[in-house]
Structure 1
Amino acid sequence: MRQPIRSRKTMLNYCGVMRTLADVECWLTDMDGVLVHENKALPGAADLIQQWLDRGTEFLVLTNNSMFTPRDLAARLRTSGLDVPEERIWTSANATAEFLKQQKSDGTAYVIGQAGIITALHDAGFTMTDNDPEFVVVGETRSYSFESITQAIRLIDRGARFISTNPDATGPSPDGIMPATGAINALITKATGREPYIVGKPNPMMFRSALNQIGAHSEVTGMIGDRMDTDIIAGMEAGLHTVLVTTGISTRESIEKYPFRPNEILDGVFELVD
């Protein structure tokens, strides 16, 4: 892992100087609504990624989607017109695996989810089992089954620790919304009385794990997102310079209902391209 950046600019910020966009040396960015929309690259996204790569700027693309591996997501982004190396993608599955590795190396887990979370946990040294696991991990999948949910409930009731990759209750599909990880979390909580520890956004834990991944410090890192209730609040709580773009969920009008504000509001990532 790279060592955290210790520049003069960083030291000035430690001393209390107000940060601006000019102070940002590293970037975390959300994916959907920021870089892509409905599988199409948003204006300026490809140019911004290339600008970061050309300048050697440290960055990661973040997503709460735990179904796919970074390699899968890199391939999906290429079809959208964005060339993002897989090592520049950090998912809630990666963050969850990193968190669990810190909790219990060489641990055991019962997993509801797909390749993204299963691969990440395997890479972290975990063994998947339904025989008295230490953790039950709920991720996103398109094939939730009553049997797997029942098994998760029974294991948690017997003492397994309840972990989830993200809190999103619904997700999109061509036919409309569909239940997602948060809905399954709620079902299990209702049956067991146990709340999950959720690692993905808006938990700033996900951002801290991303910073560790690129050896960056919060004082010189910016977060670009399209949602006040996940990207901006988590970025703020992690001590990042927050940038809201209005190409996704949030609008300039909708932010008025929140008691906090991003550091910057932009019409899109194209405004960050020199």
Structure 2
Amino acid sequence: MDVATTHYPVAHRYTRLDARAVADARLVLCDLDGCLIAQGRPFAETAEFVAACGDRLWIVSNASDSTARAMSRQLAGFGIAVPAARILLAGETMLEHLAHVEGIRRARVFASAALIARAVELGIDPAADAPQAVLLCRDAGVTVETMGPILTQVGQGAPLWVSNEDLSHPGHDTQPVAETGALLAALRAIQPELEWRSLGKPDPMMLTMALTRSGVSAQDAVFVGDNVLTDGAAAAALNMPFVHIQRSIIQ
């Protein structure tokens, strides 16, 4: 059974980015890891695709180890121009939600140095002794030694927020690169009844933010992603056309 075409509105399936697939869209929302870049490097066709899309392109990604400003600078270093104002990343988006909507000021943030610095900018203490929330992002510092303390803090009443539920994304060699969802799966293996909240895809919140800020309707946009279970589901929630970039046989 073809999972992508059976459950989600897949416009086309490609093994690489192709500007012809999005030529008629007024707005092109594109995932980052596995689509535009992998392991910190762009794919061979990324610069050409981004240039062809021009101002129509927004990055809407479950990435949770960088900020929009840092990602814009990183891409610029490869000759790829996407301003920070058109980049939405799950980790940073969740921090902003916690600060501005949930009113969180004390947290335990398990994340990269860049996101910990962003938490401080937003007025969140990322290493509070009595946290109001625990935030889990893609963090190489989370190991079997830190999983116990994370679960203890959650067990003491601090709600768990997870940047995204992706298990992996394809690397340049098509092999899977572990994502935040793999850390969540490990925590759930220890505590199967674990509860959490995530604003990353498949939640359509970031897609809705891009539509609102751009003033384009979902029907006039297209979402380009590598994961039908997260990218495809987010697009389906808004009845938005979906282009599946399937670089790896492992999805």
Smaller-chain TM-score range?
Answer: 0.7 to 0.9
Deviation at 1:191, TM superposition (A): 4.0
* Conserved 8 A contact 2:223-2:235: yes
**Counterparts of 1:142 and 1:168 in 2: how far apart (Å)?**
15
Cα contact 1:166–1:182 (8 A) shared by 2? yes
1:47-91 CA deviation, whole Å, 9 max, x = no partner?
4433444xx43x321222211222332333234442222332221
Do the aligned partners of residues 213 and 123 (structure 1) sit closer, same or farther apart at CA in structure 2, a change above 3 Å counting?
A: farther
1:202–1:249 distance in 2 versus 1, CA, 3 Å: farther
- Contact map agreement 1:136 1:152 (CA 8 A) in 2: yes
Report if aligned partners of 1:189, 1:196 keep a CA contact under 8 Å in 2.
no
Asked whether the 8 Å contact 2:34–2:226 carries over to 1, the reply is yes
**What residue is the counterpart of 1:97 in the other structure?**
95
Q: CA deviation at 1:135?
A: 0.8
Distance 2:182 2:30 in 1: 26
* 1:2-36 Cα deviation digits (max 9, x unpaired): xxxxxxxxxxxxxxxxxx96763222111234334
Task: State the secondary structure of the residue aligned to 1:235.
Answer: helix
Whole-angstrom distance in 2 between the partners of 1:241 and 1:180 = 25
Looking at structure 1, the residues matched to 233 and 146 of structure 2 have their Cα atoms a distance apart, in angstroms, of 33
Aligned residue pairs total: 228
Match of 1:238 in 2: 238
The letter for the 2-side match of 1:112 is: F
Distance in 2, matches of 1:165 and 1:150, equals 19
Quote the Cα distance in structure 1 between the aligned partners of 2:33 and 2:243: 15
Q: Which runs of 5+ in 1 are unaligned?
A: 1-19, 255-274
1:207-251 residue CA offsets vs partner (Å, 9 max, x unmatched): 2233345454323322112332222221111332222345x2479
Structure 1 counterpart of 2:84: 86
Structure 2: runs of 5+ lacking an equivalent: 1-20
- SS of the counterpart of 1:166? coil
1:130 CA drift (Å): 3.1
Change in 2 beyond 3 A, CA 1:228/1:106: closer
Instruction: Output the TM-score relative to the length of structure 2.
Output: 0.73
Distance 2:53 2:32 in 1: 15
Report percent identity of matched pairs. Answer: 24
Using the alignment, how far apart are the partners of 1:33 and 1:180 within structure 2? 11
Residue in 1 aligned with 2:161? 163
Tell me if the contact between 1:228 and 1:250 (Cα under 8 Å) persists in the aligned partners.
Answer: no
| Alpha-carbon contact 1:109-1:137 (below 8 Å) kept | yes
User: Partner of 2:72: helix, strand, or coil?
Assistant: helix
CA RMSD of aligned residues (A): 3.4
SS in 2 for 1:197: coil
Whether the 8 Å contact between 1:24 and 1:241 is mirrored in structure 2 is no
Contact 2:98 2:104 in 1 (8 A): no
User: Per the alignment, do residues 249 and 200 of structure 1 end up closer, same or farther by CA in structure 2, a change over 3 Å counting?
Assistant: farther
Task: Note the alpha carbon deviations across 1:86-121, whole angstroms, 9 max, x for none.
Answer: 332221112212432454124321111113432443
* 1:107 has 2:105 as partner: yes
SS of the equivalent of 2:195 reads coil
